[in-house]
């Protein structure tokens, strides 16, 4: 009886909130726009300088992830090894500390 009650892929997709689809669509549009802009810039720019700028942008995003500990879950082991060498947000609890208990209402 369970196979009859199982949701099909289409039914599962219909249960995803609209805001999630807007975020996915916005991300895809952002990637396409970034690729088009980078290709236009790369056509007339120094490739070495463009590579340095892209590397700097990726580094700044990574440092922001380490500072605020907002990295993607799959990068957490890497960030845990690098974090002691970079500045950390003083308002965050130290690694391994338990989060504060939520007050009861």
Q: Which is more confidently placed, 47 or 104?
A: 47
Average pLDDT over residues 59-66: 90
- Give the residue carrying structure tokens 């992830």: 65
Q: Which two tokens stand for residue 85?
A: 């060498």
Q: Where are the domains of the chain?
A: 21-85
H/E element, 73: none
Give the Cα separation of 60 and 25 in Å (integer).
Answer: 25
Rounded to two decimals, what is the model's pTM? 0.54
Query: What is residue 48's predicted lDDT score, i.e. its pLDDT?
Result: 87
Average pLDDT over residues 61-82: 88
Give the Cα separation of 39 and 74 in Å (integer).
Answer: 29
């Amino acid at each position: 009886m369970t196979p009859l009650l199982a949701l099909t892929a289409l039914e599962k997709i219909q249960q995803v909130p609209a805001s999630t689809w807007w975020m996915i669509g916005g991300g895809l549009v952002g990637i396409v726009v970034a690729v088009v802009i980078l290709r236009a810039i790369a056509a007339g720019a120094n490739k070495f300088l463009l590579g340095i700028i892209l590397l700097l942008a990726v580094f700044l995003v990574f440092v922001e992830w380490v500072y605020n500990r907002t990295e993607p879950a799959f990068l957490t082991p890497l960030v845990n090894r690098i974090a002691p060498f970079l500045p950390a947000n003083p308002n965050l609890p130290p690694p391994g500390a338990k989060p504060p208990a939520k007050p009861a209402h």
